[in-house]
Chains A and B, each alone.
Chain A
Amino acid sequence: MRIRNVLISLAAALLLCSCSGKEVLPQEARTTTYKVAVIMPQRIWATEKPIAQQALQNLEKAQEGLGERVKLELEWIDEDIPNLEEEVRRVTHDASYAAVVGPKFSRHARLVAKESLALRMPVIMPSVTSAEVQRIYSGSNKTDPNIFFMSESDLSQCQALLTTMSRKLGITYVYVLSRRDDSDDYASTFNGYLPFLATEFKIGSVSFFPYTDKESMREQILTIDSDDPVYNFFSSVFFVPSSIEDILWLDQILTEEGIDTQGFTIKDVGRYALFPRIYCTEMACDASLEGVLQNEYEGVALSGSPESGFPAVQKGLTGREIHSGSAQLYDSFTLLALALAHKEKAGLETVREAIVAVMDACDGEANDLSWTAEGLAGGFRSIRSGELPNMAGASGSWVFDRNTHISQLGTWYGHWRFYDGAFHFVEYLTRSDHAKKASMDQLWNQEIPVIGIIDLQKDKHVQYEPLQDRYAVVMATSTGWDNYRHQADALDIYRMLKKAGYPDDHIVLITEDDLARNPENPHPGVVHVLPDGENLYQGVVNDYKISQLTPADLGNILSGTVTERTPEVVHGSKNTNVLFFWSGHGLDDNLMAWADDSVTSGQIRSMLEGAQDNFRKLLFVMEACYSGSVGEFCCGFPGLLTLTACSPGEKSHADVLEGPTYLSNAFTRVFREEIEKNPDISIYDLYTELARHTTASHAMMYNYDWYGSVTDNTLAEYFKTEQQ
Chain B
Amino acid sequence: MRKTLYIAAMLLMVLSCSKQPAQPQQPEQPAAEATGAPMQVMALFGPGQLGDNGYADSVMSGLYSLKREGTLPDADSLDVRFISADTYTETNNQLASWLKNSSNPFYGKPYKRRLVVITEPYMLEWFDELYAQLGDTDEVLVLKMNEDDVRIAAEDYVLGERIHGLNISAAASARAFCRYMKAEKPDEHTLPFFRLYSEDIVTYRDSLYEVFSRELGGEDAIYLTPLSTDASEGIFSTTFETTALESAFQWANMMQNAFNYALNSFAVVDLGAANAGWDYFLLDAPEKTFTSLLMDARQMSLASRFFITRDFGKALCGWCVRWARGEQMPLMEEHGAWDGYCTDNIPRNQ
A residues near B (Cβ < 8 Å) are 3-4, 7-8, 10-11, 14-15, 17-19, 21, 29-35, 61-62, 64-65, 96, 167-169, 262-263, 296, 305-309, 311-319, 344, 347, 367-369, 372-374, 377, 417, 419-420, 424-428
Contacts and interface: CB of A to CB of B under 8 A. Distances in A.
Contacts, number: 150
A417 to B, nearest CB: 6
B53 A306 contact: yes
B14 A377 contact: no
Nearest to A61: B106
Interface stretch (B58-66, B136-144, B180-188): B58-66
A310 to B, nearest CB: 9
A707 B61 CA distance: 66
Interface in B239-288: 245, 249, 273, 276, 279-280, 284-286
Given A169-B285, A311-B57, A18 B62 contact: no
Contacts of B302: 262-263
Interface residues of B, number: 59
B349 interface: no
Contacts of A312: 50-51, 56-58, 60-61, 64
Interface in B42-83: 45, 48, 50-53, 56-58, 60-68, 81-82
Interface stretch (B20-28, B165-173, B203-211, B321-329): B20-28
14 contacts: A65-B108, A96-B24, A167-B249, A306-B53, A308-B50, A312-B57, A315-B64, A316-B66, A317-B67, A344-B21, A369-B84, A417-B300, A426-B276, A427-B53
A276 B86 CA distance: 41
Contacts of A314: 64
B319 to A, nearest CB: 15
A345 to B, nearest CB: 10
B85 to A, nearest CB: 7
Given A309-B84, A372-B81, A374-B105, A317 B68 contact: yes
Contacts of A372: 81
Contact of A11 (B11, B51, B57, B285): B11
B330 to A, nearest CB: 24
Interface string B197-218: 0000000000000000000000
A263 B286 contact: yes
Given A309-B60, A317-B65, A420-B301, A373 B106 contact: yes
B67 A427 contact: no
Interface stretch (B2-10, B152-160, B220-228): B2-10
A124 B35 CA distance: 34
B51 A306 contact: yes
A606 to B, nearest CB: 47
Given A316-B65, A316-B67, 17 more contacts: A18-B15, A19-B18, A29-B28, A64-B34, A65-B108, A167-B249, A167-B280, A169-B285, A306-B51, A308-B51, A309-B51, A309-B57, A309-B60, A317-B65, A427-B245, A427-B273, A428-B53
A367 B280 CA distance: 31
B86 A313 contact: no
Contact of A309 (B26, B50, B58, B245): B50
Contacts of B57: 306, 309, 311-312, 315
Nearest to B18: A18
Nearest to A4: B3
B11 A14 contact: yes
B226 to A, nearest CB: 20
Nearest to B60: A312
B300 A32 contact: no
B13 to A, nearest CB: 9
A633 B5 CA distance: 94
A309 B65 contact: no
Contacts of B64: 312-317
B284 A169 contact: yes
A325 B53 CA distance: 18
A123 to B, nearest CB: 19
A635 B262 CA distance: 53
B25 A32 contact: yes
Contact of B14 (A4, A15, A61, A308): A15
Nearest to A19: B17
Contacts of B279: 426
A263 B249 CA distance: 21
Given A14-B14, A19-B14, A312-B50, A33 B24 contact: yes
Contacts of B86: 367-368
A377 B106 contact: yes
A33 B26 contact: yes
B65 A319 contact: yes
B121 interface: no
A3 to B, nearest CB: 8
A427 to B, nearest CB: 5
B14 A425 contact: no
A309 B119 CA distance: 14
The 4 closest A-B pairs by CB, nearest first: A306-B51, A316-B64, A18-B18, A312-B60
Nearest to B27: A31
A160 to B, nearest CB: 14
Contacts of B106: 61-62, 64-65, 373, 377
**Central interface residue in A14, A62, A313, A377, by most chain B CB within 10 Å:** A313
Contacts of A368: 50, 84, 86
